[in-house]
Amino acid sequence: MKQHILPALRLTFVCAVVFAVAYTFLILAVAQAAPNKGNGQTVSVNNKVVGYALEGQSFTADKYFNGRPSAVGYNAAGSGGSNKGPSNPEYLQQVKNRLDMFLVHNPAIKKEQIPAELLTASGSGLDPDISYNAAMVQVIRIAATRKLREEKIGALVKEKVQQPLLHLFGTQKINVLQLNIALDEMK
């Protein structure tokens, strides 16, 4: 073993120099050419940063499209899921409460129209997206709160739909932050 200690120490040192330092700085250098220099892309309204493009934020007001429930309250400095098991009675009660709450805020909607993703917490607690159904089911409420025509808001939702990758792979989605910013800009 003795004869291996010195090579091990020296090799670890070279590895640290190459993989921890040189590699990190190489990627950091490339990052200077990436969106917002690798500091994370932000979204601004009137030159004020209102969010990070990739991360969801809390929308609870009736006049906005609400995002998915978050186990950590959209804490972007402490991501987390609920980690509730599918059969947990306490969890199922929580989903039921969310359902009742949704029906109170959206009296025109029947429960079979409400997609489950609006009642279940995301994995990261920062899910930036909702599905098309989850947006459409909120249109009547938003139109009533904002005193706008439902067709106009429905059209906005359709415009903001992001198709699957190359229209072939993955899911269809809508970014809630983009949608709500566009909503605020609507006359």
Partner 1 sequence: MNTEIFGVIAMFLVTITLAIPLGKYIGKVYNGNKTLWDPIFNPLDKLFFKAGGINPANNMTWQQNLVALLTINIVWFLLSMFVLMSQSWLPLNPDGNSSMTADLAFNTTISFITNTNLQHYSGESGLSYFGQITLMLWQFISAAAGMAICATVFKAMKPVLHSAKEKAAEVGNFYCLFVKSCTRILLPLCVVVAVLLLLNGTPMTFKGKDQFISVQGDTVNVSRGPAAAMIAIKQLGTNGGGFFGVNSAHPLENPNYFTNTIENVCIILIPIAMIFALGFMLKRKRFAWMILGIMTLGFLLLVIPSIYYEMHGNTAIAKMGVLQNLGSMEGKEVRFGPAASAYWGITSTVTSNGSVNAMHDSFTPLTGMFAMLGMMVNAFYGGVGVGFLNFYIFMIIAVFISGLMVGRTPEFLGKKIEAKEMKIAAIIALLHPFLILVGTAISSHLYAHNPQTYAGWLNNPSSHGYSEMLYEFTSSSANNGSGFAGLGNNTPFWNIACGIVMLLARYLPIIGPVAIAGILAKKKYIPESAGTLKTDNSTFAIMIFAVIFIIAALSFFPALALGPIAEYFGMK
CB of 180 to partner 1, least distance (A): 6
Interface with partner 1, residue 178, by CB under 8 A = no
**How far lies 4's CA from each of 11, 12, 17, 66, in Å?**
10, 12, 20, 60
Per CB under 8 A, contacts with partner 1 among 109-168 are: 111-117, 119-131, 133, 164-165, 167-168
CB of 139 to partner 1, least distance (A): 15
Per CB under 8 A, contacts with partner 1 among 40-79 are: 40-42, 45, 48-61, 64, 68, 74-79
Nearest CA among 135, 133, 147 for reference residue 180: 135
Interface with partner 1, residue 24, by CB under 8 A = yes
Q: Which residues contact 27 (CB under 8 A, 6 or more apart)?
A: none
d(CA 71, CA 160): 26
On the 0-12 / 13-18 / 19+ scale of CB atoms within 10 A, 177 is: buried
Q: Which is nearer to partner 1, 145 or 172 (CB)?
A: 172
CB of 142 to partner 1, least distance (A): 14
CB of 152 to partner 1, least distance (A): 20
